[in-house]
A and B are shown apart, each in its own frame.
Chain A
Amino acid sequence: MATVQEAVRPAAMQQAQPAIEVSHLTKAFYDSEGDRVTLAVSDVSFSVARGEFVCIVGPSGCGKTTVLRILAGLEEKLSGTVKLHSATPPAMVFQEASVLPWLTVSENIAFPLSLKGVSRARQDARVRDMLALTGLAEFATARPHQLSGGMKQRVSVARALVDDREILLMDEPFGALDEQTRLVLQQELLRIWETTGKTVVFITHSVDEALTLADRVLVMSPRPGTLISNLTVPFERPRDVVEMRRDKRFWDMTYEVWRLLASPARA
């Protein structure tokens, strides 16, 4: 972790500073059996302001997960610098199902708190809030295998929110869900973000999802992934994930991003 969070600045300076600064980030994997080097991420630079909601879109295999895992300190970078200006380590919502099957819904949500010796009463209160926030109140004592895919993702989101970290990293959290469930969860995520003011980096391969959620969209090229565009999304907040589709600009931007993704060389 120490390599990632290189500096935690005093509170007075934080206002002026971005929450995340990534510059010239490069990551390669080495497969010793095939003696093969895979360049996953190449020379990526971007920054995220405090309280900003940024989406990264790109084709699968372009290194989105790798970037996020490096931000989370779960992966070593090869070169470049990554600075997180936050008092707490970032919380992660993983791409694949990550709910612990041996714990109930409540216990899963409480997991980060339970590791830090937080009192039972405080844990219970936080879990109750998270259950309400994510619409899981009826499922508090359910086991993960009794839940639908959408419910499990809600649990993962609740777990990432429970200890109130400043930065939230989300790796295609709704990627495996059906369209309706996804819309519902997107709307809820926006509501939660609007009330908590967290800094969010959200990965998706869906242009539609990126435009629905983000203040800014970073577009990545196919592997080795590098940033090919940085678009500001103009829609006002709070957003209605269905209504905003009546806005012509939504479709203009969709077209623009698709054009970038379809032919990175043109950008």
Chain B
Amino acid sequence: MSAAPVTLTEDELRRLKAPARRERLFRIASYFSPLLLLLLWELSSQFNLIDRRFFPAPSAIAGTAWRMTVSLELFQHIGATLRRVGIGYVMGAVPGIVMGLILGLSRPARRVLGPIFAALYPVPKIAILPLILLIFGVGDASKFVVIAIGVFFLMFYNTMGGVMQTPQIYMDVARNAGATRFQTFRRIAFPAALPSIFTGLKLAAGSSYIIIAAAEFLGARSGVGFFIWASWQTFAVSRMFVGIVVISVMGYLTILALEALERRFVPWAKH
């Protein structure tokens, strides 16, 4: 920078800036390394080094994806999956956050109700999918419910943990300022737990896509999970890969969106 003191020699400046320059090179390289993997895959497939029936060339997959995009076939599946994940996510997250705040703030509630959640939490959500299909049918309701259950527990535990880690001093400030219980809840416990809540939201988003993929494999006539499964059954491997890429990108974009929200709503936390 021009602000550098004039007493530094060219060589000193060069050495001073070397680590930053190296860091920039690494960052650029980091963008390209995944592409290198794709390139390797493409070449291996073109030269028949890997079995093309299982690993069609990325260019072939891209071609399939393009045709499916043009025919709008993909969007119907993406829409179905997004709707299920979105509704199930909200159905799980809102009660999860509220229960987490309540149990985090109230020791009696935590002591009495905590063990119930602790007993239910370890049940794998996918293991109860058949039960949920039995109760709620093969329609969308069962998908909402299974996602909501998975999201609920992650939000509940992350929120409760966040509230319980609230420094006592903030509670004392609220009390000295004359806060009611509800005001303490809304003005102190909630913002103090917000960083943990966002950690939970990101974890829950990841797990929602795992659950919806499994749920759509088993009992659905639409959705990206269904599409992957149906492609497998007809041995349309290229299409299957398109499905895998699409659901991964959906998960990735969801996390990016949540991170943007986090920067917006938790500006005081270090990111």
**Residue ranges of A at the interface with B (Cβ–Cβ < 8 Å):** 72-74, 89, 91-92, 94, 96-98, 100-102, 111-112, 114-116, 143-145, 159
Q: Name the A residues within 8 Å of B191 (CB-CB).
A: 100, 102
Enumerate B216-271 residues with CB–CB distance to A below 8 Å.
Answer: 266-268
A100 touches B194 (CB 8 A): no
Tally inter-chain residue pairs, CB-CB below 8 A. Answer: 47
Any chain A CB within 8 A of the CB of B30?
no
* Contacts known (A102-B194, A115-B179, A116-B178); A94 close to B173, Cβ less than 8 A: yes
How far apart are the CA atoms of A111 and B169 in the complex, in Å?
Answer: 15
In the complex, given contacts A74-B175, A100-B188, A102-B266, what are 7 additional A-B residue pairs having Cβ atoms less than 8 angstroms apart? A89-B178, A97-B169, A98-B169, A98-B170, A114-B187, A115-B178, A116-B178
A115 touches B176 (CB 8 A): no
A74 touches B176 (CB 8 A): yes
**Residue ranges of B at the interface with A (Cβ–Cβ < 8 Å):** 169-170, 172-173, 175-180, 183, 187-188, 191-192, 194, 266-268
Of the residues B177, B180, B194, B268, contact of A112 by C-beta under 8 Å: B177
Interface centre among A89, A97, A115, A159, by most B CB within 10 Å?
A115
Q: How far is the CB of A126 from chain B (nearest CB, A)?
A: 14
The dominant DSSP class at the B interface is helix
* Chain A: CB-nearest residue to B171: A74
* Contacts known (A74-B175, A102-B191, A115-B177); A96 close to B169, Cβ less than 8 A: yes
B176 touches A145 (CB 8 A): no
Q: Which 9 A-B pairs have the closest CB atoms?
A: A112-B177, A102-B191, A101-B268, A92-B176, A98-B169, A98-B173, A115-B179, A102-B268, A115-B183
Q: Name the B residues within 8 Å of A159 (CB-CB).
A: 177
Q: Name the A residues within 8 Å of B268 (CB-CB).
A: 101-102, 143-145
* Chain B: CB-nearest residue to A116: B178
Of the residues A91, A94, A102, contact of B169 by C-beta under 8 Å: A94
How far apart are the CA atoms of A116 and B178 in the complex, in Å?
Answer: 8
* Contacts known (A102-B191, A115-B179, A115-B183); A143 close to B267, Cβ less than 8 A: yes
List 29 A-B pairs, Cβ < 8 Å.
A72-B176, A73-B175, A74-B172, A74-B175, A74-B176, A89-B176, A89-B178, A92-B172, A92-B176, A94-B169, A94-B172, A96-B169, A98-B170, A98-B173, A100-B170, A100-B173, A100-B188, A102-B192, A102-B194, A102-B266, A102-B268, A111-B187, A112-B178, A115-B177, A115-B183, A116-B178, A143-B267, A144-B268, A159-B177
* Chain B: CB-nearest residue to A114: B187
Interface centre among A72, A92, A102, A114, by most B CB within 10 Å?
A102
Q: How far is the CB of A32 from chain B (nearest CB, A)?
A: 14
How far apart are the CA atoms of A148 and B120 in the complex, in Å?
Answer: 47
* Chain B: CB-nearest residue to A97: B169
How far apart are the CA atoms of A97 and B267 in the complex, in Å?
Answer: 19
Q: How far is the CB of A70 from chain B (nearest CB, A)?
A: 13
How far apart are the CA atoms of A116 and B174 in the complex, in Å?
Answer: 12
Q: Name the A residues within 8 Å of B267 (CB-CB).
A: 143
How far apart are the CA atoms of A101 and B180 in the complex, in Å?
Answer: 20
How far apart are the CA atoms of A89 and B133 in the complex, in Å?
Answer: 58
B187 touches A115 (CB 8 A): yes
B173 touches A91 (CB 8 A): no
Interface centre among A72, A94, A101, A143, by most B CB within 10 Å?
A101
Q: How far is the CB of B268 from chain A (nearest CB, A)?
A: 4
* Chain B: CB-nearest residue to A156: B173
How far apart are the CA atoms of A114 and B268 in the complex, in Å?
Answer: 21
Q: Name the B residues within 8 Å of A89 (CB-CB).
A: 176, 178
Q: Name the A residues within 8 Å of B176 (CB-CB).
A: 72, 74, 89, 91-92
B177 touches A98 (CB 8 A): no
Q: Name the A residues within 8 Å of B187 (CB-CB).
A: 111, 114-115
* Chain A: CB-nearest residue to B269: A101
Q: How far is the CB of B263 from chain A (nearest CB, A)?
A: 13
